[in-house]
Structure 1
Amino acid sequence: MIDLRQLRYFQAVAEELHFGRAAARLAIAQPALSRQIQQIEEELGTPLLRRTQRRVELLPAGALLLERSRAIQQELARTLADVRRTGAGELGKLTLGFIHSSTYGLLPSVIRRFRQLYPGIELELHEMPITAQLSGLVRGTIDLGLLRVQPGPPELEMAIVMPDPFVLAVPAKHPLAARERVRLKEVAGEPFLMFNQAEAPLLHDRVQAMCEQAGFTPEVVQRATQLHTMVGLVGGGMGVAVLPASARNLHPRQVRFLQIADKADPLHVALAWRRGHETPAIRSFRKVTEEVAAAMMP
């Protein structure tokens, strides 16, 4: 079987058309080079060169081998370069699950920056609820999840990217709209918009607990799942809502967002992946996400 070293030897002779110059180029003895070429011809069962005392000429079989040898060497060089780039997190494919609310600010900026820095990594995006992301990560149908922190399977690892504190959203003409900061008990008894527990359990349970800690049970007049739906309903005057601060990135004209004075832990946006499966591409995406998130935080 002819190996890459022998192809390199033949290529040198075929390009120089002189055994002495080829041997000097390869830094080997000329007799050794001649034996290598003879072994290649014996292996192939056909002469590749016509040798005379004055010159060396390529035969048709030799010309074909030279052409293919160059192509093999070029493809090998590209393959090795791609392997190095893949190992450095600069090449490959990454399948990302993401929550809808991340598209309001963080995710578009991350994607833009990631594609600038890592154009060799194909990014496949799937909008998915948190529970679907956790399941997809365990099954291996997605490589990485951009989600809100909540208890997950032990097979997964999570890295917090940025906090997302709660704010109170009120209609622009609400009596509290001119305030910057309120306590939740100030909206006790008002019509309340609440996240659907079945489809957004984390947000529902956190908001419900905040209201109860403030001393009241919210009088829910409408339930919804998506953040933009909640914001739209508040802007329509249907009621008030406790929302993640990322809702501000929607820039609704008919809604005011007020800080909540009550002590409450913020939500956290995080990246999640299968334990032991943090690939170079995942590390590259993590790095970009953390840098973009840090630049967005006040």
Structure 2
Amino acid sequence: MADLPELPTRIDSALARAGRIARGDEGLLCVGFIENANFHLVPDVITRLRRRFPNAQIELVEMISPNIPDTLARGDIDLALTRPLPTDTLRAHEVMRERFYVALSDGDPLVRQDTVPARALFEMTFSAAAGRKSSFLRGQFGALFERQGFRLGIGQEVNQLPAIIALVAAGGGFTILPRSATGLSILGVCYRPFRDEDAPEAVLHACSREHDTNPLVQAFFAFALELRSRG
């Protein structure tokens, strides 16, 4: 019975904390992201979130796009930055659209050109991540090459983008990456815009569960869309 006078205080404290969580002042946001999102959007948005909600816990998990729908559905993550997904069960907003670039060895004659046309790559090998990690890129550019009567010639496969670009520097053909990833400065590599009238663009979506009311998710969307509007 001695604890009873403290009960209103505990209730008030619990209600106050619930209010802070509801406003996003506390709570947890777990963000899954693909590797290429880490070069621009993730640092900018997360920095803004941490300034606005300094007491919130924000976790980052690198993933591949094909694994994201199930991971979101299970609640293992709250939000994801991913290439467009073939699903209508998620809420998605386009937060970035950018041109693809070609990474070439600085000794390749193609670096003398301002842009690189698709036809110049038909006889070269494409260095890429293994398996499902590069499924979006392979699908987009494999289809483009096939429409022009060629196959995308896959060379050596490694899983991390810096290692892929290092292979290119060593003469391992070429790779294709979004413009925002060209900030990776690796000795022996040059970047040139990919040129083709049928060229795809690197589209990035922010996705969450359809009816997620987590205020940190809403804030993430708002910050990401604001950055997009600023270009």
TM-score range, shorter chain: 0.7 to 0.9
Distance verdict in 2 for CA 1:225–1:215, change over 3 Å: farther
In structure 2, relative to structure 1, the CA distance for the partners of 1:233 and 1:278 (3 Å cut) is farther
In the alignment, is residue 122 of structure 1 matched against residue 57 of structure 2?
yes
Residue 266 to residue 278, structure 1, CA distance change in 2 (3 Å): farther
TM-score (norm 1): 0.68
Taking the aligned partners of 1:213 and 1:259, their CA distance within structure 2 comes to 20
Find the residue that maps to 1:200 and give its secondary structure.
helix
Is the 1:150–1:202 contact (alpha carbons within 8 Å) kept by the matching residues of 2? no
Specify the alignment match of 2:47 in structure 1: 112
The answer to whether structure 1 residue 246 and structure 2 residue 175 are counterparts is: no
Q: Identify the residue that residue 148 of structure 1 maps to in structure 2.
A: 83
Q: Using CA pairs below 8 Å that are at least 6 residues apart, which structure has the higher relative contact order?
A: 2
Partner of 2:93: 159
| 2:202 paired residue number | 267
2:219 counterpart (284, 288, 291): 284
Q: Does 1:217 align with 2:155?
A: no
**What is the Cα deviation at residue 122 of structure 1?**
0.9
Q: TM-score normalized by structure 2?
A: 0.86
Q: CA deviation at 1:222?
A: 1.9
Consecutive unaligned residues of structure 2, counting only runs of 5 or more, are none
Q: For residue 177 of structure 1, give the secondary structure of its aligned residue in structure 2.
A: helix
Cα distance per residue 1:207-255 (max 9 Å; x no partner): 2112223442233332334332321211222111222223212122322
Which residue identity is paired with 1:122? Q
1:121 Cα offset (Å): 1.5
| Aligned-residue CA RMSD (Å) | 2.5
> Counterparts of 1:20-31 in structure 2 under 5 Å?
none
| Residue matched to 2:29 | 94
Match of 2:141? 207
* Residue 179 (structure 1) aligned to one of 113, 117, 122: 113
Structure with max Cα Rg = 1
Partner of 2:74: 139
- Structure 2 Cα separation of the partners of residues 253 and 293 of structure 1: 31
| 8 Å contact kept, 1:114–1:285 | yes
Structure 2 residue matching 1:189: 3-state secondary structure: coil
- Structure 1 counterpart SS, 2:28: strand
Contact 1:171-1:254 within 8 A present in 2 as well: yes
Which secondary structure does the structure 2 equivalent of 1:151 belong to?
coil
Distance 2:130 2:140 in 1: 12
| Paired residues of 1:89 and 1:283 also in contact (CA < 8 A) | no
CA distance in 2, matches of 1:288, 1:90: 16
Alpha-carbon distance in structure 2 between the residues aligned to 1:220 and 1:113: 39
Residue among 191, 205, 223 paired with 2:125: 191
Aligned to 1:61: none
Identity of aligned residues (%): 27
Counterpart check, 1:228 vs 2:162 = yes
Displacement after TM superposition at 1:78 (Å)? 4.1
For the Cα contact (< 8 Å) 2:165–2:186, is it kept in 1?
yes
- Give the secondary structure class of the aligned counterpart of 1:176: helix
Q: Could you say if the C-alpha distance between residues 133 and 219 of structure 1 is closer, same or farther in structure 2, counting changes exceeding 3 Å?
A: closer
Rounded to whole Å, the distance in 2 between the matches of 1:236 and 1:97 is 32
